Chains A and B, each alone.
Chain A
Amino acid sequence: MKSLLDIPAYKTVKIVNITGGKGSRRQLAQLGIGVGSTITIKRNAPFAGPLLIDNHGSSIAIGRGVAAKIMVEEV
């Protein structure tokens, strides 16, 4: 399974699982991101800095630690 970190920029992916803490999962769910959501990666600079993703027109910055726990499949 791939995590969000493995996905290059401009790809659209579907979330299949979010491991890790309840806190992050809740925070993501509040922004409408959860298992089954389709998101697009706008920016993924390897080795440094967070990811920028697009979720129905809103941009969300996600730290690399959180991104590593978001499992996705490409669509």
Chain B
Amino acid sequence: MKIALVGQPNSGKSTIFNSVAGYKSVTSNLAGTTVKFTRSRVRLNGNVYDLVDLPGTYSLSFSNEAEAEVSKYLLSEKFDLIINVIDASQLGRSLPLTLELLELNIPVLIALNMYDEAIRKGISIDVEKISRILGIRVQKTIASKNQGVRELFILAKEMIEKGQPSERPLIKCQRDVEEVIAEMESFIKENYSHPIAYPTRFMAIKLLEDDEFYRQQFFQQNGGVLSKKVEQLQRKLVELRGKPQDSIMLLERHSMAMEIYHETVQLGIPHKDWREKVDDFLMHRIGGYLVLLLVLLSLFYGVFQLGSFLEKILLNEFSSLEHILALYFKQNGLTFHILKSLIWGISGGIAIVLPYLLPFLIGLNVLEDIGYLPRVAFLMDAFMHKIGLHGTAIIPAVLGYGCNVPAVMATRILPSRRDKIIAAVIASMIPCSARSIVILGLVAFYLGPLWAFAVYVLNIFIIAISGKVLSHLLPEVTPGMILEIPSYRWPALRVIGLKTWFRIKEFLLYAWPLLIIGSLILGLMEFFELDRLINSVLFPLTSLLGLPAVIGTTLIFGVLRKELALIMLTQALGTTEILTVLTSLQVFTFTIFITFYIPCLATMAVLSRELGYKIMLNIVLFTLTLAIILSVIVNQAGHLFF
């Protein structure tokens, strides 16, 4: 039994998914958070179901990649039930998708989510009436507080057990348009008697909508006659409605939706909303930027303060452990070497990475869940235009500060491939949390927070130039920003906790073992003096950057995961008192190199999947060259400062 969660962006599909499946799908107050399908087997009242959380979509069309994926998936997989998640405070805008889903002839159940939000906005909804008009069941939910979700799935179970529902009323468009649809439908039926994969009426509507995907699929099989008929009927629609052909059906569904909306919704006086007032300030054209700067500064300063405090304490503990080790084992023996490497790896994860990663992720998660990121897009639109993109492209960039992998995937919200490529390059250049650990744990820790700030500023500056250059290389007019700005939401502590744990778990399960293994490998290489070989191969590079040859190996490890470079650095140098062996300038140069060179292995993989390996290789070459040039400049010019 398969159930799909389908709904418009930011309606809370993943929140509902998580409340029955455990926290498996990242949630936030941001359209387009879910870019991949998350599936889980869930047990409900003794039955086991396959539940799939789909990315948000405004319609079953193919206008951007995220929507295309959902449409394809819904059409190709056989689902027993669709749970259509609707933001109750946005009912009018949400129903067009519902109308489309109803055309698929799969049982649909509506989850009227964020019901509290609707009440706050003074919207009262006649749930019975919606259910009657659409002929389907409707359940009120407040998924963030886990209300109504149980009832929702009990209903779902009932519906699946009962099988296909009895005839539900067909929701018709206005008569004139309905006639055109009927003509299209009967034309398809008469001429193409062989079974069509999708319901005929749905296909007829999609062909009239002029959707590229459905056209291609159908025209390839059936050629010119059909295409002529479609064009003829499309012209008829334009005559009837006097609107551009490509949006007629979409707007028709909207007017149907608004009709249902007006019949079922009573607008009262919204509760006095502090949130509008907040936006007056946060989106102000001067105040907004000040707040943005303040938010970012306090995030990084807060993370640094907390992180460095914990790092000092924890490192002390681990170094005393090492002293104890030295008492029991021979200092040059293999056992001592292995054990020491193990301790380095373990302590690297606990004492160096976690103190920064944890507060950083909590901060970023809070910003995401409040709904601040779309405001950042709004504020940064003008700036992004200067580098040939538009505001929407800032969202992957901001997500990149957490991790580049989801950031690159988030570029799917951009409709044009050209914008996608530039945004992906930018996203992979953003210092992710792993690189931030290097910046904070090395530069801020040893040289002071101001220098760390300089790294971030330099990074933004370089990214802006790279964006500008790229948009010159790929000249194409970008369509401009059209982005929904969601209401602020008070982040639920439980959700923040779960989400932080979800992301920390990724570190603990995948990255930390890698750190420990890396340490072990480096330890063994040092013992058998293999590291010298690598270091001597890399000597031209390290000497060019003015760095000691021993850290050559760390640069290799950094490709696997960026924080490895930091852990390996302390190990390669044999001390956490970095400044006793490196000069301040060397520390700074090393960090610049680590920040800019080659995205990590996981990012390379996702870049290659999203944009093709050629573009990925270009990005790798570009960032490597850029990192070398920058580091050489820093190393030369740095003598003026250090």
Residues 17-75 (chain A) with a chain B CB within 8 angstroms: 18, 21-32, 34-36, 43, 45, 48-50, 52, 55-66
Residue of B nearest to A66 (CB): B480
- With A43-B283, A49-B381, A62-B482 known to touch, is A26 a contact of B246 (CB < 8 Å)? yes
Residues of B within 8 A of A28 (CB): 247, 482
Asked whether, in the complex, the Cβ of B90 is within 8 Å of the Cβ of A57, the reply is yes
Asked whether, in the complex, the Cβ of B485 is within 8 Å of the Cβ of A60, the reply is yes
Residues of A within 8 A of B487 (CB): 59
- With A23-B479, A49-B285, A63-B381 known to touch, is A30 a contact of B390 (CB < 8 Å)? no
- With A30-B59, A63-B390 known to touch, is A48 a contact of B481 (CB < 8 Å)? no
Contact of B61 among A26, A43, A63 (CB under 8 A): A26
Asked whether, in the complex, the Cβ of B250 is within 8 Å of the Cβ of A24, the reply is no
- With A26-B61, A26-B63 known to touch, is A50 a contact of B250 (CB < 8 Å)? no
Give the number of chain B interface residues (Cβ < 8 Å).
44
Contact with A along B58-85 (1 / 0, CB 8 A): 1101010000000000000000000000
Asked whether, in the complex, the Cβ of A25 is within 8 Å of the Cβ of B484, the reply is no
- With A32-B92, A49-B382 known to touch, is A60 a contact of B482 (CB < 8 Å)? yes
Contact of B377 among A25, A48, A61 (CB under 8 A): A61
Residues of A within 8 A of B123 (CB): 57
Asked whether, in the complex, the Cβ of A52 is within 8 Å of the Cβ of B378, the reply is yes
Asked whether, in the complex, the Cβ of A63 is within 8 Å of the Cβ of B480, the reply is yes
Asked whether, in the complex, the Cβ of A58 is within 8 Å of the Cβ of B93, the reply is yes
Asked whether, in the complex, the Cβ of B89 is within 8 Å of the Cβ of A57, the reply is yes
Residue of A nearest to B92 (CB): A56
Asked whether, in the complex, the Cβ of B251 is within 8 Å of the Cβ of A29, the reply is yes
CA–CA, A51 and B554, complex, Å:
48
Residue of A nearest to B121 (CB): A57
Q: Does B546 contact A (CB under 8 A)?
A: no
Q: Does B391 contact A (CB under 8 A)?
A: yes
Residues of B within 8 A of A64 (CB): 381, 480
Give the number of chain A interface residues (Cβ < 8 Å).
34
Asked whether, in the complex, the Cβ of A49 is within 8 Å of the Cβ of B379, the reply is yes
- With A43-B283, A61-B377 known to touch, is A30 a contact of B58 (CB < 8 Å)? yes
Asked whether, in the complex, the Cβ of A23 is within 8 Å of the Cβ of B93, the reply is no
Residues of B within 8 A of A60 (CB): 482-485
CA–CA, A22 and B246, complex, Å:
7
Asked whether, in the complex, the Cβ of A66 is within 8 Å of the Cβ of B92, the reply is no
Asked whether, in the complex, the Cβ of B93 is within 8 Å of the Cβ of A61, the reply is no
Asked whether, in the complex, the Cβ of B482 is within 8 Å of the Cβ of A66, the reply is yes
Asked whether, in the complex, the Cβ of A62 is within 8 Å of the Cβ of B89, the reply is no
- B546 CB to closest chain A CB, in angstroms? 42
Asked whether, in the complex, the Cβ of A58 is within 8 Å of the Cβ of B381, the reply is no
Residues of A within 8 A of B415 (CB): 23, 27
Residues 266-311 (chain B) with a chain A CB within 8 angstroms: 283, 285
Contact of B391 among A22, A58, A61 (CB under 8 A): A61
Residues of A within 8 A of B379 (CB): 49
Asked whether, in the complex, the Cβ of B250 is within 8 Å of the Cβ of A34, the reply is yes
Q: Provide a sorted-by-A list of 6 A–B residue pairs whose CB atoms are within 8 angstroms.
A: A29-B247, A31-B93, A45-B285, A48-B285, A63-B381, A65-B480
